[in-house]
Structure 1
Amino acid sequence: MTKVLIATDKPFAPAAVDSIRTVVEGAGYELVLLESYTDKADLLAAVADVDGMIIRSDKATREVIEAAKNLKVIVRAGAGYDNIDLEACTENGVVAMNTPGQNSNAVAELVFGMMVFLARNGFNGTSGFELRGKKIGIHAYGNVGRYVGGIAKGFGMEVYAFDPFVAKETIEADGVKVVDSVEELYSTCNYVSLHIPANDKTKKSINFDLLNRMPKGGVLVNTARKEVIDEEGLIKLMAARKDFAYISDIAPDCKDEIAAKFEGRFFFTPKKMGAQTAEANINAGIAGANQIVNCIEKGDETYRVNK
């Protein structure tokens, strides 16, 4: 019998697991669960005889992929997939997929939750400021970026975007102003919401020179990946500019230094929280299950991310 493994050190909500089970068992497959595991050996044992696999932030390393001798398809329930060794998947004939768009609204809402929290000084009773009338720049106008733009307009913000991979007409059709360069985006906007992937071109690309272009009172909002931030440059900027703040749903490696030096100018969630809603859990889980079934049964590789 075809086996599908859910391997999640941060488990799906029970309702999501139930929904995944309905899809998987409805296809005549067996569903196997590995939840809240702490030992990599448990993961290596669990993948030994499975045909499909759904993960969240779990690391699908080369060792994991090569231990999964029957694996045909692995799906990252979420947009980012830098936790999958794509080269190892390709070499071993494994289709790697993500589930784009399923977590987008959850991430976008978190962007504004953190922005309001910072703007109101952590709700400590002191006077803060409003988002209305401020300029927000969306760095990468994908699924999450579009949701951020829509919510920002509801707040009465001026919305700008930079994404060389999305047609200008597509962005403008959403009522968003397009800028010609990443430098122009940061120079223009009070807030920048970051949605770029972590790859060889983007890692440490958000650096001192770029952030220093932001107007007085600039705030960087990162719900992407911590690796895209040049942390040495970030520390340098926060030391040089007492008006600058950084908020993120994934704490940087230098979080202790930021906490010690820049009180009131940062906020980090205790773990990556963008997709942590019941709705996103269910949506991404169901999408992953359907993609596995369709890939195995029909050869559908619509959301394949490896070559």
Structure 2
Amino acid sequence: MKVLIATEKPFAPAAVQGITSELKNAGHEVVLLEKYTEKGQLLDAVKDADAMIVRSDKITPEVLDAAKQLKIVVRAGAGYDSIDTAYAKGKNVVVENTPGQNSNAVAELVFGMLVYAVRNFFNGKAGTELKGKKLGILAFGNVGRNVARIAKGFDMDVYAYDAFCPADAIEAAGVHAAKSQEDLFKTCDVLSLHIPATPQTVKSIDYRLVNLLPKKGILVNTARKEVINEEELLKLMAEREDLKFITDIKPDADEEFKKFEGRYFSTPKKMGAQTAEANTNAGIAAARQINAFFATGDTKFQVNK
């Protein structure tokens, strides 16, 4: 089978080598399309591909229509909102992700940004410590669980809420289970977002919810920028000079947020999975899933059933 690795933002060279080895050892042909600048390049490359590995690349109906032989697309990472999964299902194309492979990288970034924030962005003035603070985790999946693990090392008091994870499962992980989103925001000094972008969550992090944070609260977003109601958060930050907002997904209103100097920080681009380890882990997992699909029909990680 021909497997296309299509990455506008390429994997690290070591990851490409590992992915290629996995696929070739299983008898597949590998085609590499990196740093493409026009959709036409992707449309041309996908014409005779049986499988694709992508990162944050947009797999639209146009791309899927061009891929006449395509049977499976694997997103090397957890989020797959860049792929039109419903349209793919209509064309009998399996879409998979690689959950958990980037989780530790994202969780470590949360704390890198948090230390930076509580120390006043290293401006020379006295800051605060994370020890003893209450950390709230909204969504207790792979990333949320890693955030909880690291938070315990900082001796933080950890809370979580997840509409799809039973309270007893959260408690079993040594984390306090909040009764609701509102309860989580009211209780915690720091609130870390790990929810996907869905019709239910888009713009759900709004004025009402964030305003529940205690004084000097910190909102951390390493999930999706779409979950933030930017207009309402800007309004709230103008009213509450104690709030901080830190994110690794630059908001559309980045320039407006920048006026809150000392209370806002965004990385230049999305950095959650940008480690050599995560890069390699997710890519090799994607290759192995493609191998399993063609060898045995395995669709364990399918997201468009």
Shorter-chain TM range is: over 0.9
Distance in 2 (alpha carbons) for counterparts of 1:62 and 1:266:
37
Q: Which residue of 2 aligns with 1:204?
A: 203
User: Is residue 66–residue 88 contact of structure 1 (8 Å, CA) maintained in 2?
Assistant: no
Whether 1:273 and 2:271 are equivalent positions in the alignment is yes
Q: Which residue of 2 aligns with 1:110?
A: 109
Q: What is the one-letter code of the residue matched to 1:215?
A: P
Secondary structure at the aligned position of 2:86 is classed as: helix
The Cα of 1:124 is off from its aligned counterpart by 2.2
Distance in 2 (alpha carbons) for counterparts of 1:275 and 1:96:
20
Secondary structure at the aligned position of 2:32 is classed as: strand
The Cα of 1:43 is off from its aligned counterpart by 0.6
The Cα of 1:66 is off from its aligned counterpart by 1.1
Gap runs ≥5 in structure 2: none
Alignment of 1:103-182 (within 5 A): 103-182=102-181
Q: Deviations over 1:147-200 (max 9, x none)?
A: 000100100110000012112222111110001100000000011110000010
The Cα of 1:91 is off from its aligned counterpart by 0.8
Distance in 1 (alpha carbons) for counterparts of 2:86 and 2:173:
36
Distance in 2 (alpha carbons) for counterparts of 1:138 and 1:87:
29
Secondary structure at the aligned position of 2:132 is classed as: coil
Q: Which residue of 2 aligns with 1:15?
A: 14
1:291 pairs, out of 284, 289, 292, with 289
Distance in 2 (alpha carbons) for counterparts of 1:303 and 1:194:
23
Q: Which residue of 2 aligns with 1:187?
A: 186
The Cα of 1:103 is off from its aligned counterpart by 0.2
Q: Deviations over 1:211-264 (max 9, x none)?
A: 0000001111000000001111110110010000111110110110111x2011
Alignment of 1:48-87 (within 5 A): 48-87=47-86
Q: What is the one-letter code of the residue matched to 1:289?
A: A
Aligned CA RMSD, in angstroms, stands at: 0.7
Gap runs ≥5 in structure 1: none
- Percent identity reads 62
The Cα of 1:297 is off from its aligned counterpart by 1.7
Secondary structure at the aligned position of 1:180 is classed as: coil
Secondary structure at the aligned position of 1:138 is classed as: strand
Distance in 1 (alpha carbons) for counterparts of 2:87 and 2:27:
28
Secondary structure at the aligned position of 2:213 is classed as: coil
Secondary structure at the aligned position of 1:49 is classed as: coil
Q: More displaced, 266-275 or 121-130?
A: 121-130
TM-score, structure 1 length as denominator? 0.98
Distance in 2 (alpha carbons) for counterparts of 1:120 and 1:65:
47
User: Is residue 72–residue 296 contact of structure 1 (8 Å, CA) maintained in 2?
Assistant: no
TM-score, structure 2 length as denominator? 0.99
The Cα of 1:137 is off from its aligned counterpart by 0.3
